[in-house]
């Protein structure tokens, strides 16, 4: 709702955004649009968050038992998007194909292409001057003298990181005070490990989490057990299959194993790839025992077991906690505002399995408008009651607590209606919704080939893609308009071309060069 009759008098605030990944950049852009003064703190040497490939790994702690994570990125070299680029753009800055050295024109490009896109987004909206790179946030806490909900401010303590290393520069510590803080650190950094496998602590052979996997080279001629058959588990198993002697996939459930995609993988790579049930125990002699009693001798175990929410810098006196083995952040009203600390503390990017960056953009706009007074929140009691009612409703529907922040696969309508409900955001086009569903179905059928098969789009999707591609010229012109005269000339030379546009509109032009390796 609007804050009063007619146009509200906006309250412009100083806001710290923690993280310059996709969620943080969405927050920075929307906060600036609303007129707020924004500072973004990013611990890496560039923007992009998880999409900034880092060939380094945490060699001291490959399992990830220690916080905070020293190497933030979890991207492995062979990673490609599992959603088509048409549905992965900001609402007014689409993820259009661009000609140019190092660019990836495929419908499902590699990770480097998405990082390039995020850099283009920063340039187009002039966000880089708000970003402090190589800056790790150590503590975010309310200022003691301003604890009321109307005047609460936040002290943010940070330290400069020595560029290119995992070390902090103790001389570069700083503390600043802001009117508000937006936490946008993502949810793919702090590793989650299984708690039901015996012998992990005693096993002396190599163990690592997928967070520390980059390429298959170190595993040449090894027998490797991959724990977990999710997207990363299947990706890494197939990648390892190129060099490993044996790859053993341990499924966490029958549903995870009994899919058409898994059947095809086993049929295509039966000489190297084997499927097993859950791991029961690691034996000191190198045996990995599964729950059906079978076992294999292994050189390495890789845990593709997901990530826990973690905010080690956040000091709220217990007002915001991470519970249920790292699956739940709460309480959060609509996954964004902690009721007792709203609106000056908020989260963008907590939900999983949502349409990105669109959903982050919606959350960010809502936060920006609430902070300015353009919109208001319910009372603290009402927000708490809403959180509790939603949890009870999900529990009654049989939804496990670990899916608390999973929106799209549990309540897809809520995801699409979120923007209309809270900030009059432009709804997602119907052709994009259809494309998401068809892409997911193709991936479930054959995870190896779905990205590179000729597009089998419906007439609705084909027309939508044609209109989407028509934005190439308009987007190039809009980017050019926000730059200086000198940079305009440079941008004109780099503007996306329309070569092969007809091929794109009728099913995309798939390049045959080797995949980008970061």
In this prediction, residues 88-108 reach a mean pLDDT of: 94
The number of C-alpha atoms within 13 Å of 335 and in the hemisphere containing its C-beta is 25
Q: Which residue has the higher pLDDT, 125 or 513?
A: 125
Chain segment 406-445, per-residue pLDDT in tens: 987 777 788 888 988 899 888 899 999 999 999 999 999 9
Q: Which residue has the higher pLDDT, 59 or 307?
A: 307
Indicate the pLDDT class of residue 189, thresholds 50, 70 and 90: confident
Chain segment 483-512, per-residue pLDDT in tens: 544 344 334 433 343 333 333 333 333 332
pLDDT value for 1: 45
In this prediction, residues 197-218 reach a mean pLDDT of: 96
Adjacent-strand bridge partners of 183: 18, 347
The mean predicted confidence, pLDDT, of the chain is: 88
pLDDT value for 171: 74
CA 208/CA 79 separation, integer angstroms: 18
Chain segment 383-400, per-residue pLDDT in tens: 999 999 999 999 999 999
Q: Which residue has the higher pLDDT, 160 or 71?
A: 160
Asked if residues 35 and 182 have their Cβ atoms less than 8 Å apart, the reply is no
Give all domains of the chain, ordered by start, each with its CATH number: 14-190+307-459 (3.50.50.60), 206-303 (3.50.50.60)
How does DSSP classify residue 50?
G
pLDDT value for 495: 39
Q: From the CB of residue 452, how many other CB atoms can be counted at a distance below 10 Å?
A: 14
CA 445/CA 464 separation, integer angstroms: 24
Torsion of CA 303, 308, 311, 316, to 10 degrees: -150
Q: From the CB of residue 77, how many other CB atoms can be counted at a distance below 10 Å?
A: 19
Chain segment 344-365, per-residue pLDDT in tens: 999 999 999 899 999 999 999 9
Q: From the CB of residue 382, how many other CB atoms can be counted at a distance below 10 Å?
A: 12
- Reply yes or no on whether the pLDDT at 517 is more than 70: no
- Reply yes or no on whether the pLDDT at 259 is more than 50: yes
- Reply yes or no on whether the pLDDT at 150 is more than 70: no
Q: What distance lies between CA 190 and its chain's CA centroid? A: 13
In this prediction, residues 146-170 reach a mean pLDDT of: 78
Q: Which residue has the higher pLDDT, 119 or 505?
A: 119
Task: Find the DSSP H helices in 301-379.
Answer: 358-372
């Amino acid at each position: 709702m609007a804050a009063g009759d007619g146009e509200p008098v906006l309250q412009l605030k100083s806001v710290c955004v923690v993280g310059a990944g996709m969620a943080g950049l969405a927050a920075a852009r929307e906060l600036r649009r609303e007129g707020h003064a924004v500072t973004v703190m990013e611990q890496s040497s560039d923007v992009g968050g998880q999409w900034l490939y880092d060939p380094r790994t945490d060699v001291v702690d490959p399992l990830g038992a220690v916080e905070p994570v020293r190497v933030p990125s979890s991207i492995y070299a062979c990673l490609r998007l599992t959603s088509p680029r048409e549905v992965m753009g900001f609402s007014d800055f689409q993820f259009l194909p661009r000609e140019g050295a190092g660019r990836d024109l495929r419908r499902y490009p590699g990770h480097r292409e998405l990082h390039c896109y995020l850099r283009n987004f920063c340039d187009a909206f002039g966000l880089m001057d708000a970003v402090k790179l190589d800056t790790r946030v150590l503590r975010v806490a309310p200022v003691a003298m301003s604890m009321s909900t109307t005047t609460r401010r936040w002290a943010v303590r940070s330290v400069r990181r020595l560029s290119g290393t995992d070390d902090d520069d103790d001389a570069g510590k700083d503390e600043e005070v802001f009117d508000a803080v937006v936490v946008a650190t993502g949810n793919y950094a702090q590793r989650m490990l299984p708690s039901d496998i015996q012998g992990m602590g005693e096993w002396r052979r190599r163990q690592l989490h997928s967070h520390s996997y980059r390429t298959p080279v170190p595993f040449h001629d090894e027998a490797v057990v991959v724990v977990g058959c999710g997207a990363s588990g299947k990706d890494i198993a197939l990648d390892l299959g190129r060099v490993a002697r044996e790859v053993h996939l341990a499924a966490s459930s029958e549903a995870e194993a009994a899919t058409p995609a898994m059947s095809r993988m086993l049929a295509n790579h039966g000489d190297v790839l084997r499927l097993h049930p859950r791991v029961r125990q690691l034996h000191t002699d190198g045996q990995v025992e599964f729950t059906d009693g079978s076992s294999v001798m292994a050189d390495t175990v890789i845990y593709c077991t997901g990530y826990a929410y973690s905010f080690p810098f956040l000091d709220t006196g217990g007002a915001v906690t991470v519970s249920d083995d790292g699956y739940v952040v709460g309480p959060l009203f609509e996954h964004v505002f902690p009721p007792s600390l709203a609106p000056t503390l908020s989260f963008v990017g907590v939900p999983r399995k949502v349409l990105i960056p669109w959903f982050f953009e919606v959350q960010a706009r809502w936060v920006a408008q609430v902070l300015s007074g353009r919109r208001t929140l319910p009372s603290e009691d009402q927000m708490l009651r809403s959180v509790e009612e939603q949890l009870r409703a999900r529990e009654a529907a049989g939804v496990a607590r670990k899916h608390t922040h999973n929106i799209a696969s549990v309540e897809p309508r809520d995801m699409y209606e979120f923007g209309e409900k809270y900030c009059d955001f432009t709804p997602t086009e119907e052709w994009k919704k259809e494309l998401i569903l068809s892409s997911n179905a193709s991936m479930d059928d054959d995870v190896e080939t779905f990205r590179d098969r000729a597009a089998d789009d419906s007439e609705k999707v084909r027309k939508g893609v044609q209109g989407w591609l028509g934005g190439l010229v308009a987007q190039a012109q809009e980017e050019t308009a926000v730059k200086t005269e000198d940079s305009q000339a440079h941008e004109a030379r780099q503007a996306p071309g329309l070569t092969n546009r007809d091929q794109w509109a009728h099913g995309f032009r798939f390049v045959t060069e080797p995949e980008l390796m970061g």
